[in-house]
């Protein structure tokens, strides 16, 4: 399908060995009662750059153990409802079913075997979990994309390595873009944060196809 071809052209080619993530949740940080004034300031700054719609969410991360996204696990775990490390998109889907709170999925796509595998897997994930905002990240991306253009597979993309503000911007953009696409498709939303709710039915290829892609 031409739409998938366009997505594959947009996503820079990469080839890295496919590896599963087998690391646990990183929750090693000071208790709130022992934070000094400087750290309290840093805490406020971190919450500020994430924004209210992200600090009230749990983040599911799928990434290679060597992915730079993992450098952000500790602070994201601290200033959101928590971070869950997932071994695959299938694992993320299974875990998502057990959480009642708002979620967002962050995927380091360099762990996929090749471009075709990445696009196909993300497309299937979107088709079956369309109620979940998704951010994809890669060292091969030329620049971040915080638009709705690739809603067939994700709500925002980010180039790695990324800073805290860049991660925060991508997460926030993904939530906003996800809401826009669902409204565009006429999907009813539950709550202002657009996380819970019925999944979109129909082909992934019908979702907010970029204007430069043909059917």
pLDDT of the residue at 73: 98
Give every CB contact of residue 144 below 8 A, 6+ residues apart in sequence: 156, 157, 158, 159, 162, 166, 169, 170
pLDDT tens for residues 123-182?
999 999 999 999 999 999 999 999 998 899 999 999 999 999 999 999 999 999 999 998
Alpha carbon 39 to chain centroid, angstroms: 27
> Quick one: pLDDT at residue 114?
85
CA distance 59 to 92: 10
What's the pLDDT score for residue 12? 44
Instruction: Identify whether the C-beta of residue 25 lies closer than 8 Å to the C-beta of residue 83.
Output: yes
Mean pLDDT (the chain, rounded): 76
Domains identified in the chain and CATH numbers: 2-15+52-206 (3.40.50.2300)
pLDDT at 209: 32
- Determine the pLDDT at residue 95: 97
Split at pLDDT 50, 70, 90, the class of 184 is confident
The answer on pLDDT for 23 being more than 60 is no
197-211: pLDDT as tens digits: 333 333 333 333 332
For residues 4 and 34, give the distance between their C-alpha atoms in angstroms, rounded to a whole number.
Answer: 51
**pLDDT value of position 5:** 58
Question: Quick one: pLDDT at residue 65?
Answer: 95
The per-residue pLDDT for 25 is 34
pLDDT band at 2 (very low <50, low <70, confident <90, very high): low
**Position 40 pLDDT exceeds 80:** no
Q: How far apart are CA 111 and CA 113, in angstroms?
A: 7
């Amino acid at each position: 399908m031409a739409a998938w071809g366009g997505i594959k052209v947009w996503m820079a080619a990469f080839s890295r060995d496919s590896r599963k993530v087998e690391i646990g949740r990183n929750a090693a940080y000071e208790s709130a009662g022992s934070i000094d004034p400087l750290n309290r300031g840093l805490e406020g700054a971190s919450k500020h750059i994430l924004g209210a719609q992200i600090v009230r969410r749990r983040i599911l991360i799928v990434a290679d153990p060597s992915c730079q996204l993992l450098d952000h696990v500790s602070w994201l775990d601290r200033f959101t409802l928590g971070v869950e490390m997932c071994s695959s998109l299938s694992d993320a889907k299974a875990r998502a079913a057990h959480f009642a709170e708002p979620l967002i999925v962050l995927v380091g796509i360099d762990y996929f075997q090749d471009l075709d595998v990445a696009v196909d897997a993300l497309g299937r994930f979107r088709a079956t979990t369309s109620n979940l905002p998704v951010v994809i990240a890669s060292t091969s991306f030329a620049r971040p994309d915080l638009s709705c253009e690739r809603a067939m597979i994700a709500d925002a993309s980010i180039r790695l390595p990324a800073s805290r503000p860049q991660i925060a911007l991508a997460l926030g953009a993904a939530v906003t873009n996800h809401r826009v696409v669902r409204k565009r498709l006429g999907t009813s939303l539950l709550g202002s944060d657009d996380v819970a709710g019925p999944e979109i039915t129909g082909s992934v290829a019908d979702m907010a196809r970029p204007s430069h892609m043909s059917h």
